[in-house]
Amino acid sequence: MAKKRKHVDRDEDTSQVPARIVPPSEPLPEGVHHYETIEEVPWDVQKYWHQGYSIFSKYDDGIWMTDDAWYGVTHESVANTISQHVSEAAPPNRSIIIDAFCGVGGNTIAFALSGKWKRVYGIEKDAATLACAKHNAEIYGVSDKITWFHGDCFEILGAMDGRTEKTVDALKAIAGQFGIIFASPPWGGPSYSNTEVFDLESMEPYTFSHLYKAFGKVTSNMVLYLPRTSDLRQIAQVVDGDKKIQVIHYCTNGSSRALCTYLGDWALLKLSPASSNGY
Ligand SMILES: C[S@@+](CC[C@H](N)C(=O)[O-])C[C@H]1O[C@@H](n2cnc3c(N)ncnc32)[C@H](O)[C@@H]1O
């Protein structure tokens, strides 16, 4: 008999079956999965499978993932802590947040749950991944707070030299006046962790300077989620003028998973040294 994921935090009472948003018999969109047993999971995803409830505590409610998303998704506790920091230290008059690489919704859902933002926007270029994000936001009860865009974030935000037909001028305008951009870009695959100091100018497919300059065409207020070993000297070299940059490591189980750079007019982040949130 197939073995289910072991979840120590959840009530083991099997009479309390979580309500599923989508009946299991309904076919999922192509490339989208909700694995229930490890036997269903492709071998290269199996090492992430045991982290399922750390990624989304509501995994059993029918969370959708693509196989690529398991590696890049922001785990729920980290997403919630980032969301708390972004809410507390946001520059004045910022009432909307744009998750430029929203993936399957890890960060977007946390931002929407915070109740801080008038509107949360999620942009994702891969259709199957975006379908997961929309579905997962329903599971967390926040889909009415989020507007989704399918496509290239640089085009949609007008973060290039000149606009394209995909540019959403209204989004660019409100982002400039009231917005913050949060970006958790691809890092070029798991091999980033093999280097002691990660060269942000070799990050693929978008280098740090590309991200900073492109999003800077929309707003100077941004948070970039980067590999934990990122070369901080490169960030200091690329960022304009004498602006203070805050860098926070986000940890689980005592080790850093990633860091966020807060660029723009952020208040000083107040971090408790005895925090149980692991930053
Ligand atoms: C590291 S993942 C984001 C994970 C996300 N924070 C989450 O918790 O699910 C990066 C995502 O960016 C998407 N992506 C890559 N280039 C993009 C682009 N130019 N515009 C929009 N999305 C893009 C990828 O398809 C991928 O889903």
What pLDDT is stored for residue 276 in this prediction? 47
Of the candidates 226, 231, 209, the residue with the CA atom closest to the CA atom of residue 261: 226
Ligand 1 center from residue 8 Cα (angstroms): 30
Q: Cα(151)–Cα(131) distance, rounded to whole angstroms?
A: 13
Is the CB of residue 67 below 6 angstroms from any atom belonging to ligand 1?
no
What pLDDT is stored for residue 11 in this prediction? 34
- Name the residue type at position 167: T
Is the CB of residue 73 below 6 angstroms from any atom belonging to ligand 1?
yes
Is the CB of residue 107 below 6 angstroms from any atom belonging to ligand 1?
yes
Options 2.40.110.20, 3.40.50.720, 3.40.50.150, 3.30.365.10; CATH for 75-263 is 3.40.50.150
Protein residue with its CA nearest to atom 5 in ligand 1: 103
What pLDDT is stored for residue 275 in this prediction? 52
Q: Which of 124, 223, 225 to mutate to test the pocket of ligand 1 (most atoms within 8 A of CB)?
A: 124
The pTM assigned to this predicted structure is 0.91
Q: Which residues contact 37 (CB under 8 A, 6 or more apart)?
A: 2, 3, 4, 5
Is the CB of residue 108 below 6 angstroms from any atom belonging to ligand 1?
no
Is the CB of residue 106 below 6 angstroms from any atom belonging to ligand 1?
yes
Whole-angstrom CA distances from 72 to 68, 117, 120, 200 are 7, 24, 20, 17
Q: Is residue 84 pLDDT above 70, yes or no?
A: yes
The strand pair at 96-99 and 222-227 is best described as unpaired
Is residue 32 within 8 Å of 69, Cβ to Cβ? no
Parse the chain into domains and list their residue ranges.
32-71, 75-263
Q: Which residues contact 233 (CB under 8 A, 6 or more apart)?
A: none
Q: Is residue 122 pLDDT above 50, yes or no?
A: yes
Of the candidates 109, 99, 114, the residue with the CA atom closest to the CA atom of residue 132: 109
What pLDDT is stored for residue 16 in this prediction? 41
Ligand 1 center from residue 272 Cα (angstroms): 30
Is residue 267 within 8 Å of 93, Cβ to Cβ? no
Mean pLDDT of the chain: 89
Is the CB of residue 74 below 6 angstroms from any atom belonging to ligand 1?
yes
Q: How confident is the model at residue 13 (pLDDT cuts 50, 70, 90)?
A: very low
